[in-house]
Chain A
Amino acid sequence: MSFSVFAVPIIVALIFGWGLYKKVNILDAFIEGARENLKTAVGLLPTLTLLMLGVGMFRSSGALDAITRLLSPITDALGFPSECLPLTLLRPVSGSGALAILKNILAENGPDSFAGRVASVLMGSTETTFYTIAVYFAATKVKKSRHALPSALAGDITAFLLSSLAVRIFLGFTVR
């Protein structure tokens, strides 16, 4: 707890301090970095609109709840919050889709609930696996990526299984 409270201010102070010491033009650098990322964020909007439409309709129709309830015996046995299941399914395929689902989970269950925490950990510790593998090999002449995808998915499954355990260990066993 205390560690995570201090991590961000210390890192920010170190970076600004070191930047001053190295005589970096702080204003220039900050503005350029902020501009790059703002462009990226705005570029996400058209895709996210479609994904929010899909996720919103899926959830409000009640279909998401029905599927979650259907699969809850399995997830309960693993100690995994069933609310996070849609996130695990979409995360490797679509980064924006996963963001839309995470926003929903946080709004529905609260960010500090067990499900909210597990969803946050899962989102923070995984990547858009399929997309990444495709992009990396597309840059080369390699046609057979061999066991790249299975290995990466083994990592995703590990994250899926470990996320609820990690939340219990670091944020308390008494959940909800």
Chain B
Amino acid sequence: MIGYLLSFIILGSVVYSVFAGTPAEISNAVISSGADAVSLVLTLAGSMAVWGGIMKIAERSGITDGLTKILRPFLKLIFRGLKKDSEALRAIAMNVSANLMGLGNAATPLGIEAMRALEREENPGEVATLNMIKLAVMNACSAEIIPATVAALRAEAGSSAPLEILPCVLLVSFASLAVALTVAEVLNIGRKNEL
């Protein structure tokens, strides 16, 4: 899908450049795009390595586990109807804390584990339950305490304060998460028998 989209964009750009008289500019873009990609990855790699290292310390020292315990009661309000010692709820809490800590590598496998646990506990067949929808939706909305990747790109572009966006990111993340979960809940009204 991305392949088709990009081919279309590239063909369109070439056609446009013929009419707009920008063939020299587009040639330069072709030549420099590889170097641009490498420099982008270098910027990202540096910051990702630093945060990966720091967050691994957090994981091993039990900070992620602690966060999981703190989050459980709140998550119980969102993911309702699960058993008291629910395996799924435990996995969901771990998934959410990994997301908050920016541990993308750890969060996805935990989230998938949580999804499978929900499937075992709620036995939905081929139709998703509300809790499954909520878990997928939560992961499709970013909730990171420190937006490290964006900050690294800002620093590289010469920002005087790469992290000044932090309060904005927190506000927008949680507002969009709240809206997404509310919509998930509202669209489920009248289908309570499907959990």
Contacts and interface: CB of A to CB of B under 8 A. Distances in A.
Given A60-B25, A112-B159, A140 B172 contact: no
Most buried by B among A3, A42, A140, A141: A140
Contacts of A19: 57-58, 60-61
Contacts of B108: 135
Contacts of A30: 53-54, 56-57
Contacts of B172: 121-122, 124-125, 158-159, 162-163, 166
Question: Main SS of the interface on chain B?
Answer: helix
Interface in A47-76: 48-54, 56-63, 66
Nearest to B48: A37
A1 B164 CA distance: 6
Given A61-B13, A110-B158, A150-B187, A56 B30 contact: yes
Given A4-B163, A124-B165, A57 B48 contact: no
Nearest to A16: B57
Interface in B17-37: 17, 20, 22, 25-26, 28-30, 32-34, 36-37
Contacts of B125: 141-142
Interface in A152-166: 152, 154-156, 158-159, 162-163, 166
Nearest to A97: B2
Question: Main SS of the interface on chain A?
Answer: helix
Interface residues of B, number: 100
A44 B168 contact: no
A109 to B, nearest CB: 9
A66 B55 CA distance: 43
Nearest 6 A/B pairs, CB to CB: A33-B56, A155-B180, A37-B52, A124-B147, A30-B53, A111-B159
Interface of A: 1, 3-5, 7-8, 11-12, 14-16, 18-19, 21-22, 24-26, 29-38, 40-42, 44-45, 48-54, 56-63, 66, 93-94, 97, 99-100, 102-103, 106-107, 110-112, 116-117, 120-129, 132-133, 135-137, 139-148, 150-152, 154-156, 158-159, 162-163, 166-167, 169-171
